[in-house]
A and B are shown apart, each in its own frame.
Chain A
Amino acid sequence: MIRTVVAVTALALLGACTPAASPSTTPSTELVVFAASSLSDTYTSLGKTFEASHPGVTVKFSFDGSSALVDQLKQGAPADVFASADRPNMTKATTGNLMSGTPSLYATNTLTIIVPKGNPVGITGLDSSLDGKKLVLCADGVPCGSATTKLAKLLGVTLRPVSEETKVTDVRAKVESGQADAGVVYVTDAKASGSKVDTIAIKNADQVKNEYLLGVVATSMNADLASQFVALVTGSEGQKALSAAGFALP
Protein backbone atom coordinates (compact mmCIF):
# COMPACT_ATOMS: atom_id res chain seq x y z
CA MET A 1 0.00 0.00 0.00
CA ILE A 2 2.80 2.37 0.92
CA ARG A 3 4.39 1.77 -2.43
CA THR A 4 1.07 2.51 -4.12
CA VAL A 5 0.67 5.73 -2.19
CA VAL A 6 4.19 6.79 -3.11
CA ALA A 7 3.54 6.02 -6.77
CA VAL A 8 0.22 7.86 -6.65
CA THR A 9 1.83 10.87 -5.02
CA ALA A 10 4.70 10.92 -7.50
CA LEU A 11 2.29 10.76 -10.41
CA ALA A 12 0.13 13.49 -8.90
CA LEU A 13 3.15 15.74 -8.49
CA LEU A 14 4.12 15.14 -12.07
CA GLY A 15 0.61 16.05 -13.15
CA ALA A 16 0.71 19.25 -11.16
CA CYS A 17 3.85 20.44 -12.89
CA THR A 18 2.55 22.67 -15.62
CA PRO A 19 5.23 24.65 -17.38
CA ALA A 20 5.91 27.91 -15.56
CA ALA A 21 7.82 30.92 -16.73
CA SER A 22 11.34 29.61 -16.92
CA PRO A 23 14.23 31.73 -15.81
CA SER A 24 16.77 32.34 -18.51
CA THR A 25 20.23 33.69 -18.86
CA THR A 26 20.57 37.41 -18.22
CA PRO A 27 21.83 39.36 -21.23
CA SER A 28 23.35 42.82 -20.88
CA THR A 29 20.01 44.54 -20.22
CA GLU A 30 16.61 43.05 -19.68
CA LEU A 31 13.41 45.05 -19.75
CA VAL A 32 10.55 43.31 -17.96
CA VAL A 33 7.05 44.23 -19.10
CA PHE A 34 3.96 43.13 -17.14
CA ALA A 35 1.02 43.40 -19.52
CA ALA A 36 -2.63 42.35 -19.57
CA SER A 37 -3.38 39.16 -21.50
CA SER A 38 -5.39 40.99 -24.16
CA LEU A 39 -2.22 42.84 -25.17
CA SER A 40 -0.10 39.77 -25.79
CA ASP A 41 -0.10 39.77 -29.62
CA THR A 42 0.43 43.51 -30.04
CA TYR A 43 3.02 43.82 -27.29
CA THR A 44 5.00 40.82 -28.46
CA SER A 45 5.47 42.42 -31.87
CA LEU A 46 6.19 45.84 -30.35
CA GLY A 47 8.78 44.14 -28.13
CA LYS A 48 10.59 42.88 -31.24
CA THR A 49 10.53 46.40 -32.70
CA PHE A 50 12.00 47.72 -29.45
CA GLU A 51 14.76 45.11 -29.39
CA ALA A 52 15.66 45.92 -33.00
CA SER A 53 16.08 49.62 -32.21
CA HIS A 54 17.87 48.97 -28.89
CA PRO A 55 20.77 46.54 -29.47
CA GLY A 56 21.72 44.62 -26.34
CA VAL A 57 18.26 44.97 -24.81
CA THR A 58 15.96 42.00 -24.37
CA VAL A 59 12.28 42.59 -23.66
CA LYS A 60 10.67 39.97 -21.41
CA PHE A 61 6.90 39.80 -21.08
CA SER A 62 4.66 38.44 -18.39
CA PHE A 63 1.08 38.30 -19.68
CA ASP A 64 -1.67 37.70 -17.15
CA GLY A 65 -4.93 39.19 -15.92
CA SER A 66 -4.46 42.82 -14.82
CA SER A 67 -5.44 42.14 -11.20
CA ALA A 68 -3.07 39.17 -10.97
CA LEU A 69 -0.27 41.41 -12.26
CA VAL A 70 -1.05 44.10 -9.67
CA ASP A 71 -0.94 41.40 -6.96
CA GLN A 72 2.48 40.31 -8.22
CA LEU A 73 3.74 43.91 -8.23
CA LYS A 74 2.50 44.31 -4.65
CA GLN A 75 4.52 41.24 -3.69
CA GLY A 76 7.60 42.93 -5.12
CA ALA A 77 7.83 41.21 -8.50
CA PRO A 78 10.65 42.83 -10.52
CA ALA A 79 9.05 44.67 -13.44
CA ASP A 80 9.92 47.80 -15.37
CA VAL A 81 6.66 48.51 -17.18
CA PHE A 82 3.09 47.71 -16.19
CA ALA A 83 0.24 47.82 -18.73
CA SER A 84 -3.26 47.35 -17.35
CA ALA A 85 -6.39 46.46 -19.33
CA ASP A 86 -8.60 48.72 -17.23
CA ARG A 87 -8.50 51.84 -15.09
CA PRO A 88 -9.46 50.29 -11.71
CA ASN A 89 -6.44 47.99 -11.71
CA MET A 90 -4.09 50.80 -12.72
CA THR A 91 -5.60 52.90 -9.91
CA LYS A 92 -4.84 50.06 -7.49
CA ALA A 93 -1.22 50.21 -8.66
CA THR A 94 -0.91 54.02 -8.43
CA THR A 95 -2.59 54.29 -5.02
CA GLY A 96 -0.27 51.55 -3.79
CA ASN A 97 2.69 53.74 -4.90
CA LEU A 98 3.77 51.02 -7.30
CA MET A 99 4.08 53.33 -10.30
CA SER A 100 6.36 56.29 -10.96
CA GLY A 101 4.63 59.29 -12.54
CA THR A 102 1.16 59.29 -14.07
CA PRO A 103 0.36 56.31 -16.32
CA SER A 104 -0.77 57.23 -19.83
CA LEU A 105 -4.05 56.28 -21.46
CA TYR A 106 -3.21 55.06 -24.95
CA ALA A 107 -5.96 52.72 -26.17
CA THR A 108 -9.54 51.65 -25.54
CA ASN A 109 -11.44 48.49 -26.25
CA THR A 110 -15.15 47.86 -26.65
CA LEU A 111 -17.32 44.76 -26.46
CA THR A 112 -18.82 42.69 -29.23
CA ILE A 113 -20.65 39.39 -29.63
CA ILE A 114 -18.96 36.43 -31.27
CA VAL A 115 -20.81 33.34 -32.49
CA PRO A 116 -19.57 30.12 -34.13
CA LYS A 117 -18.98 30.47 -37.89
CA GLY A 118 -22.26 30.85 -39.77
CA ASN A 119 -24.22 31.97 -36.68
CA PRO A 120 -26.12 28.64 -36.38
CA VAL A 121 -28.70 29.82 -33.83
CA GLY A 122 -29.35 33.24 -35.39
CA ILE A 123 -28.11 35.73 -32.81
CA THR A 124 -28.93 39.33 -33.75
CA GLY A 125 -27.34 41.34 -30.94
CA LEU A 126 -27.35 41.82 -27.20
CA ASP A 127 -31.13 41.22 -27.15
CA SER A 128 -33.85 38.58 -26.80
CA SER A 129 -32.26 36.47 -29.55
CA LEU A 130 -29.91 35.25 -26.79
CA ASP A 131 -32.74 33.88 -24.63
CA GLY A 132 -32.41 30.14 -24.06
CA LYS A 133 -29.13 30.03 -25.99
CA LYS A 134 -25.80 28.93 -24.58
CA LEU A 135 -24.34 32.36 -23.84
CA VAL A 136 -20.91 32.63 -22.23
CA LEU A 137 -19.72 35.82 -20.55
CA CYS A 138 -16.82 37.04 -18.45
CA ALA A 139 -17.58 36.93 -14.72
CA ASP A 140 -18.54 40.15 -13.01
CA GLY A 141 -15.42 41.30 -11.19
CA VAL A 142 -13.00 40.73 -14.05
CA PRO A 143 -12.69 43.78 -16.36
CA CYS A 144 -14.53 42.34 -19.39
CA GLY A 145 -17.31 41.04 -17.11
CA SER A 146 -17.80 44.37 -15.38
CA ALA A 147 -17.99 46.05 -18.79
CA THR A 148 -20.56 43.47 -19.96
CA THR A 149 -22.75 44.07 -16.90
CA LYS A 150 -22.55 47.82 -17.45
CA LEU A 151 -23.47 47.54 -21.13
CA ALA A 152 -26.39 45.15 -20.45
CA LYS A 153 -27.75 47.57 -17.87
CA LEU A 154 -27.39 50.44 -20.32
CA LEU A 155 -29.33 48.51 -22.97
CA GLY A 156 -31.88 47.29 -20.42
CA VAL A 157 -31.37 43.60 -21.20
CA THR A 158 -31.10 40.74 -18.72
CA LEU A 159 -28.48 38.20 -19.69
CA ARG A 160 -28.68 34.58 -18.57
CA PRO A 161 -25.27 33.05 -19.26
CA VAL A 162 -24.56 29.32 -19.01
CA SER A 163 -21.02 30.09 -17.90
CA GLU A 164 -19.10 33.02 -16.47
CA GLU A 165 -15.42 32.78 -17.28
CA THR A 166 -12.54 34.36 -15.42
CA LYS A 167 -10.64 35.11 -18.62
CA VAL A 168 -11.90 36.56 -21.85
CA THR A 169 -9.79 34.04 -23.75
CA ASP A 170 -11.84 31.24 -22.13
CA VAL A 171 -15.01 32.84 -23.54
CA ARG A 172 -13.34 32.90 -26.96
CA ALA A 173 -12.27 29.27 -26.69
CA LYS A 174 -15.81 28.14 -25.84
CA VAL A 175 -17.30 29.90 -28.85
CA GLU A 176 -14.51 28.82 -31.22
CA SER A 177 -15.03 25.17 -30.22
CA GLY A 178 -18.79 25.46 -30.73
CA GLN A 179 -19.56 24.58 -27.11
CA ALA A 180 -21.26 27.95 -26.70
CA ASP A 181 -23.78 29.57 -29.06
CA ALA A 182 -22.53 33.09 -28.32
CA GLY A 183 -20.04 34.98 -26.21
CA VAL A 184 -19.34 38.59 -25.33
CA VAL A 185 -15.69 39.54 -25.81
CA TYR A 186 -13.57 42.54 -26.71
CA VAL A 187 -13.41 43.67 -30.32
CA THR A 188 -9.70 42.76 -30.27
CA ASP A 189 -10.52 39.19 -29.20
CA ALA A 190 -13.05 38.85 -32.00
CA LYS A 191 -10.39 40.03 -34.42
CA ALA A 192 -7.86 37.55 -33.01
CA SER A 193 -10.33 34.67 -33.40
CA GLY A 194 -10.36 35.50 -37.12
CA SER A 195 -12.40 33.27 -39.38
CA LYS A 196 -13.31 30.79 -36.65
CA VAL A 197 -16.14 33.03 -35.50
CA ASP A 198 -18.63 35.57 -36.83
CA THR A 199 -18.87 38.94 -35.13
CA ILE A 200 -22.17 40.59 -34.28
CA ALA A 201 -21.92 44.22 -33.24
CA ILE A 202 -23.64 45.41 -30.08
CA LYS A 203 -25.72 48.57 -30.26
CA ASN A 204 -24.17 51.44 -28.25
CA ALA A 205 -21.10 49.30 -27.48
CA ASP A 206 -18.92 52.43 -27.70
CA GLN A 207 -20.57 53.80 -24.56
CA VAL A 208 -18.74 51.30 -22.38
CA LYS A 209 -15.03 51.64 -23.01
CA ASN A 210 -12.25 49.73 -21.36
CA GLU A 211 -9.26 51.96 -20.89
CA TYR A 212 -5.72 50.70 -21.40
CA LEU A 213 -3.06 52.50 -19.39
CA LEU A 214 0.63 51.88 -19.00
CA GLY A 215 3.48 53.38 -17.07
CA VAL A 216 6.89 52.85 -15.50
CA VAL A 217 7.03 50.77 -12.33
CA ALA A 218 8.38 52.69 -9.31
CA THR A 219 11.04 50.11 -8.47
CA SER A 220 12.36 49.85 -12.05
CA MET A 221 16.15 49.74 -12.30
CA ASN A 222 15.91 50.67 -16.00
CA ALA A 223 13.53 53.62 -15.73
CA ASP A 224 14.98 55.36 -18.82
CA LEU A 225 14.61 52.32 -20.99
CA ALA A 226 11.15 51.72 -19.52
CA SER A 227 9.96 55.18 -20.49
CA GLN A 228 11.33 54.63 -23.99
CA PHE A 229 9.17 51.51 -24.21
CA VAL A 230 6.16 53.51 -23.01
CA ALA A 231 6.97 56.11 -25.68
CA LEU A 232 7.05 53.38 -28.35
CA VAL A 233 3.59 52.13 -27.34
CA THR A 234 2.04 55.61 -27.12
CA GLY A 235 3.87 56.84 -30.23
CA SER A 236 2.79 56.49 -33.85
CA GLU A 237 4.29 53.03 -34.35
CA GLY A 238 2.56 51.62 -31.27
CA GLN A 239 -0.74 53.23 -32.16
CA LYS A 240 -0.56 51.75 -35.66
CA ALA A 241 -0.04 48.26 -34.25
CA LEU A 242 -2.82 48.73 -31.69
CA SER A 243 -5.41 49.90 -34.21
CA ALA A 244 -4.46 47.02 -36.51
CA ALA A 245 -5.34 44.68 -33.63
CA GLY A 246 -8.74 46.33 -33.23
CA PHE A 247 -8.06 48.73 -30.36
CA ALA A 248 -9.60 52.18 -30.54
CA LEU A 249 -7.35 55.15 -29.85
CA PRO A 250 -8.39 57.61 -27.16
Chain B
Amino acid sequence: MIRPALPRWLAVPAGLAAVFLAVPLIAMFGRVDWLHLPTLLASPAAVDALWLSLRTCTASTVLCLVLGLPLAMVLARARGKWATAGRILASLPMVLPPVVAGLALLVALGRRAWLGRHLSAFGIDLAFTTAAVVVAQTFVAMPYLVVSVEGALRSAQQHYEVVAATLGASPTTVLRRVTLPLAAPAIASGAALAFARALGEFGATLTFAGSLQGTTQTLPLEIYLARESDTDTAIALSVVLLIIAAGLIAVTSVFSRVRGATS
Protein backbone atom coordinates (compact mmCIF):
# COMPACT_ATOMS: atom_id res chain seq x y z
CA MET B 1 0.00 0.00 0.00
CA ILE B 2 1.36 3.42 -0.93
CA ARG B 3 0.70 6.09 1.63
CA PRO B 4 -0.09 9.64 0.53
CA ALA B 5 2.89 12.00 0.87
CA LEU B 6 3.32 14.21 3.95
CA PRO B 7 2.94 17.96 3.51
CA ARG B 8 6.35 19.49 2.72
CA TRP B 9 6.22 22.20 5.43
CA LEU B 10 6.37 19.43 8.03
CA ALA B 11 10.10 19.13 7.26
CA VAL B 12 10.78 22.47 9.03
CA PRO B 13 9.53 21.65 12.55
CA ALA B 14 10.75 18.05 12.14
CA GLY B 15 14.22 19.33 11.27
CA LEU B 16 14.15 21.74 14.22
CA ALA B 17 13.24 18.90 16.56
CA ALA B 18 16.10 16.76 15.25
CA VAL B 19 18.57 19.63 15.68
CA PHE B 20 17.25 20.36 19.17
CA LEU B 21 17.85 16.76 20.21
CA ALA B 22 21.17 16.36 18.45
CA VAL B 23 22.98 19.60 19.35
CA PRO B 24 23.56 18.98 23.10
CA LEU B 25 24.71 15.42 22.42
CA ILE B 26 27.09 16.46 19.66
CA ALA B 27 28.36 19.34 21.81
CA MET B 28 29.33 16.82 24.46
CA PHE B 29 31.46 14.91 21.95
CA GLY B 30 33.13 18.24 21.14
CA ARG B 31 34.06 18.77 24.79
CA VAL B 32 35.67 15.33 25.25
CA ASP B 33 39.39 15.41 25.98
CA TRP B 34 40.10 12.68 23.39
CA LEU B 35 43.86 12.73 24.05
CA HIS B 36 43.41 11.78 27.69
CA LEU B 37 40.26 9.72 27.23
CA PRO B 38 41.97 6.34 27.85
CA THR B 39 43.61 7.65 31.05
CA LEU B 40 40.36 9.24 32.25
CA LEU B 41 38.40 6.06 31.66
CA ALA B 42 41.07 3.84 33.20
CA SER B 43 40.84 5.49 36.64
CA PRO B 44 39.85 2.92 39.31
CA ALA B 45 36.67 4.85 40.16
CA ALA B 46 35.59 4.93 36.50
CA VAL B 47 36.35 1.26 35.88
CA ASP B 48 34.55 0.23 39.09
CA ALA B 49 31.53 2.35 38.18
CA LEU B 50 31.28 0.98 34.64
CA TRP B 51 31.69 -2.62 35.79
CA LEU B 52 29.19 -2.16 38.63
CA SER B 53 26.67 -0.58 36.26
CA LEU B 54 26.92 -3.44 33.79
CA ARG B 55 26.52 -6.07 36.53
CA THR B 56 23.60 -4.40 38.28
CA CYS B 57 21.81 -3.62 35.02
CA THR B 58 22.14 -7.23 33.88
CA ALA B 59 20.76 -8.43 37.20
CA SER B 60 17.87 -5.99 37.15
CA THR B 61 17.03 -6.79 33.52
CA VAL B 62 16.87 -10.50 34.40
CA LEU B 63 14.59 -9.64 37.35
CA CYS B 64 12.44 -7.51 35.03
CA LEU B 65 12.08 -10.47 32.67
CA VAL B 66 11.37 -13.05 35.39
CA LEU B 67 8.75 -10.91 37.15
CA GLY B 68 7.65 -8.42 34.51
CA LEU B 69 6.99 -10.88 31.70
CA PRO B 70 4.30 -12.82 33.62
CA LEU B 71 2.74 -9.51 34.70
CA ALA B 72 2.67 -8.30 31.09
CA MET B 73 0.99 -11.54 29.96
CA VAL B 74 -1.65 -11.37 32.70
CA LEU B 75 -2.36 -7.68 32.02
CA ALA B 76 -2.63 -8.31 28.27
CA ARG B 77 -5.49 -10.76 28.89
CA ALA B 78 -7.15 -9.00 31.80
CA ARG B 79 -10.30 -6.91 31.31
CA GLY B 80 -12.24 -4.56 33.58
CA LYS B 81 -11.40 -1.95 36.13
CA TRP B 82 -8.88 -4.05 38.05
CA ALA B 83 -6.96 -4.57 34.82
CA THR B 84 -6.96 -0.80 34.23
CA ALA B 85 -5.75 -0.23 37.78
CA GLY B 86 -3.04 -2.83 37.23
CA ARG B 87 -1.92 -1.16 34.02
CA ILE B 88 -1.72 2.25 35.71
CA LEU B 89 0.23 0.77 38.61
CA ALA B 90 2.61 -1.06 36.28
CA SER B 91 3.52 2.09 34.40
CA LEU B 92 3.55 4.49 37.36
CA PRO B 93 7.26 4.18 38.27
CA MET B 94 7.99 5.31 34.71
CA VAL B 95 6.52 8.78 35.31
CA LEU B 96 7.70 9.24 38.89
CA PRO B 97 10.62 11.60 39.38
CA PRO B 98 13.50 9.26 40.30
CA VAL B 99 13.97 10.80 43.72
CA VAL B 100 10.30 10.04 44.51
CA ALA B 101 10.90 6.42 43.51
CA GLY B 102 13.88 6.38 45.89
CA LEU B 103 11.81 7.84 48.74
CA ALA B 104 9.04 5.30 48.09
CA LEU B 105 11.55 2.45 48.28
CA LEU B 106 13.05 3.94 51.44
CA VAL B 107 9.66 4.20 53.12
CA ALA B 108 8.87 0.59 52.19
CA LEU B 109 12.20 -1.18 52.46
CA GLY B 110 14.37 1.11 54.62
CA ARG B 111 15.83 -0.14 57.89
CA ARG B 112 13.11 1.61 59.87
CA ALA B 113 10.29 0.62 57.53
CA TRP B 114 7.82 -2.16 58.24
CA LEU B 115 8.94 -4.42 55.41
CA GLY B 116 12.59 -3.52 55.92
CA ARG B 117 12.41 -4.49 59.61
CA HIS B 118 10.91 -7.87 58.73
CA LEU B 119 13.61 -8.47 56.13
CA SER B 120 16.24 -7.58 58.74
CA ALA B 121 14.76 -10.21 61.02
CA PHE B 122 15.59 -12.76 58.31
CA GLY B 123 19.12 -11.40 58.10
CA ILE B 124 18.47 -9.48 54.89
CA ASP B 125 19.74 -5.94 55.21
CA LEU B 126 19.46 -4.04 51.94
CA ALA B 127 20.78 -0.69 53.17
CA PHE B 128 23.87 0.45 51.23
CA THR B 129 24.31 -2.84 49.37
CA THR B 130 24.63 -3.64 45.69
CA ALA B 131 21.33 -5.50 46.05
CA ALA B 132 19.68 -2.17 46.92
CA VAL B 133 20.95 -0.77 43.61
CA VAL B 134 19.39 -3.72 41.77
CA VAL B 135 16.10 -3.18 43.62
CA ALA B 136 16.06 0.51 42.68
CA GLN B 137 16.91 -0.21 39.05
CA THR B 138 14.32 -2.99 38.76
CA PHE B 139 11.64 -0.74 40.25
CA VAL B 140 12.14 1.98 37.67
CA ALA B 141 12.97 -0.28 34.69
CA MET B 142 10.30 -2.98 34.92
CA PRO B 143 7.47 -0.76 33.64
CA TYR B 144 9.33 -0.33 30.33
CA LEU B 145 9.36 -4.09 29.79
CA VAL B 146 5.78 -4.58 30.99
CA VAL B 147 4.34 -1.76 28.89
CA SER B 148 6.10 -2.74 25.66
CA VAL B 149 5.42 -6.49 25.96
CA GLU B 150 1.82 -5.98 27.07
CA GLY B 151 1.16 -3.66 24.15
CA ALA B 152 2.62 -6.17 21.69
CA LEU B 153 0.64 -9.08 23.13
CA ARG B 154 -2.62 -7.16 23.09
CA SER B 155 -2.28 -6.07 19.50
CA ALA B 156 -1.08 -9.53 18.35
CA GLN B 157 -3.52 -11.74 16.47
CA GLN B 158 -4.68 -14.70 18.50
CA HIS B 159 -5.48 -17.27 15.84
CA TYR B 160 -2.24 -19.27 16.26
CA GLU B 161 -2.95 -19.60 19.96
CA VAL B 162 -6.53 -20.65 19.27
CA VAL B 163 -5.41 -23.26 16.72
CA ALA B 164 -2.77 -24.65 19.09
CA ALA B 165 -5.35 -24.94 21.85
CA THR B 166 -7.92 -26.69 19.64
CA LEU B 167 -5.21 -29.14 18.60
CA GLY B 168 -4.98 -30.12 22.25
CA ALA B 169 -1.98 -28.13 23.50
CA SER B 170 -2.07 -27.33 27.22
CA PRO B 171 -2.02 -23.64 28.28
CA THR B 172 1.67 -23.95 29.23
CA THR B 173 2.51 -25.49 25.86
CA VAL B 174 0.63 -22.70 24.02
CA LEU B 175 2.53 -20.14 26.06
CA ARG B 176 5.90 -21.79 25.47
CA ARG B 177 5.51 -22.77 21.82
CA VAL B 178 3.27 -20.03 20.40
CA THR B 179 2.77 -16.90 22.55
CA LEU B 180 6.36 -16.38 23.70
CA PRO B 181 8.03 -17.04 20.32
CA LEU B 182 5.61 -14.61 18.64
CA ALA B 183 6.30 -11.98 21.29
CA ALA B 184 10.07 -12.57 21.26
CA PRO B 185 10.99 -9.39 19.33
CA ALA B 186 8.86 -7.26 21.67
CA ILE B 187 10.37 -9.00 24.69
CA ALA B 188 13.88 -8.38 23.39
CA SER B 189 13.24 -4.71 22.70
CA GLY B 190 11.44 -4.30 26.03
CA ALA B 191 14.40 -5.88 27.82
CA ALA B 192 16.84 -3.58 26.01
CA LEU B 193 14.73 -0.55 27.00
CA ALA B 194 14.63 -1.77 30.60
CA PHE B 195 18.40 -2.25 30.57
CA ALA B 196 18.87 1.26 29.19
CA ARG B 197 16.58 2.74 31.85
CA ALA B 198 18.40 0.80 34.59
CA LEU B 199 21.72 2.09 33.25
CA GLY B 200 20.51 5.68 33.52
CA GLU B 201 19.00 5.19 36.99
CA PHE B 202 20.27 7.87 39.33
CA GLY B 203 17.87 9.42 41.80
CA ALA B 204 16.42 6.26 43.29
CA THR B 205 19.89 4.73 43.68
CA LEU B 206 21.26 7.86 45.35
CA THR B 207 18.29 8.11 47.71
CA PHE B 208 17.84 4.44 48.50
CA ALA B 209 21.21 2.72 48.07
CA GLY B 210 23.82 5.40 48.68
CA SER B 211 27.06 5.91 46.80
CA LEU B 212 30.25 3.94 47.44
CA GLN B 213 32.88 3.08 44.88
CA GLY B 214 32.57 -0.54 43.78
CA THR B 215 29.43 -1.22 45.84
CA THR B 216 26.70 1.25 45.01
CA GLN B 217 28.39 3.94 42.92
CA THR B 218 27.06 3.24 39.43
CA LEU B 219 28.10 5.14 36.30
CA PRO B 220 25.56 8.00 36.66
CA LEU B 221 26.50 8.48 40.33
CA GLU B 222 30.20 8.55 39.46
CA ILE B 223 29.47 11.14 36.75
CA TYR B 224 27.57 13.27 39.27
CA LEU B 225 30.45 13.06 41.74
CA ALA B 226 33.17 13.63 39.14
CA ARG B 227 31.36 16.77 37.99
CA GLU B 228 32.17 18.34 41.40
CA SER B 229 35.92 18.17 40.95
CA ASP B 230 36.83 16.88 37.50
CA THR B 231 34.63 17.91 34.59
CA ASP B 232 36.80 16.08 32.03
CA THR B 233 36.20 12.70 33.67
CA ALA B 234 32.50 13.47 34.01
CA ILE B 235 32.23 14.23 30.29
CA ALA B 236 34.33 11.20 29.29
CA LEU B 237 32.07 8.91 31.31
CA SER B 238 28.97 10.62 29.97
CA VAL B 239 30.10 9.83 26.45
CA VAL B 240 30.59 6.17 27.38
CA LEU B 241 27.09 6.09 28.83
CA LEU B 242 25.73 7.77 25.72
CA ILE B 243 27.35 5.21 23.41
CA ILE B 244 26.05 2.24 25.43
CA ALA B 245 22.56 3.76 25.53
CA ALA B 246 22.64 4.42 21.78
CA GLY B 247 23.61 0.79 21.19
CA LEU B 248 20.70 -0.42 23.32
CA ILE B 249 18.20 1.81 21.53
CA ALA B 250 19.58 0.52 18.20
CA VAL B 251 18.88 -3.03 19.43
CA THR B 252 15.29 -2.13 20.29
CA SER B 253 14.66 -0.56 16.91
CA VAL B 254 16.12 -3.58 15.08
CA PHE B 255 13.78 -5.86 17.01
CA SER B 256 10.74 -3.70 16.44
CA ARG B 257 11.50 -3.83 12.71
CA VAL B 258 11.75 -7.63 12.89
CA ARG B 259 8.34 -7.63 14.55
CA GLY B 260 6.91 -5.31 11.95
CA ALA B 261 8.17 -7.61 9.18
CA THR B 262 6.75 -10.81 10.68
CA SER B 263 3.30 -9.59 11.70
A interface, CB within 8 angstroms of B: 1-5, 7-8, 11-12, 14-15, 17-18, 65, 67-68, 71, 134, 136, 139, 141-142, 161-166, 170, 173-174, 177-180
Contacts and interface: CB of A to CB of B under 8 A. Distances in A.
B225 interface: yes
Q: Which of A67, A71, A134, A164 has the most CB of B within 10 A?
A: A164
B211 interface: yes
Interface string B86-109: 000001001111110000001000
A3 B151 CA distance: 9
A8 B96 contact: no
A7 B230 CA distance: 37
Main secondary structure on chain B at its contact with chain A?
helix
Nearest to A2: B256
Given A163-B210, A170-B206, A179 B151 contact: no
A8 B193 contact: yes
Contacts of A173: 207
Contacts, number: 103
B259 to A, nearest CB: 6
Contacts of B210: 136, 162-165, 174, 179
A166 B228 contact: yes
Contacts of A67: 228-229
Contact of B97 (A1, A18, A136, A162): A18
20 contacts: A1-B148, A1-B260, A4-B152, A7-B151, A8-B193, A139-B211, A139-B225, A141-B229, A142-B228, A142-B229, A162-B128, A163-B128, A163-B211, A164-B225, A166-B211, A166-B225, A170-B206, A177-B106, A179-B106, A179-B112
B213 A178 contact: no
B216 interface: yes
Interface in B165-199: 186, 189, 193, 197
A1 B259 contact: yes
Interface of B: 91, 94-99, 106, 110-112, 127-128, 144, 147-148, 151-152, 155, 186, 189, 193, 197, 206-207, 209-213, 215-217, 224-225, 227-231, 252, 256, 259-260
A71 B224 CA distance: 14
Given A8-B94, A162-B210, A141 B111 contact: no
A176 to B, nearest CB: 10
Contacts of B94: 8, 11-12, 15
Nearest to A16: B97
Contacts of A170: 206
A14 B252 CA distance: 21
Contacts of A139: 211, 225, 228
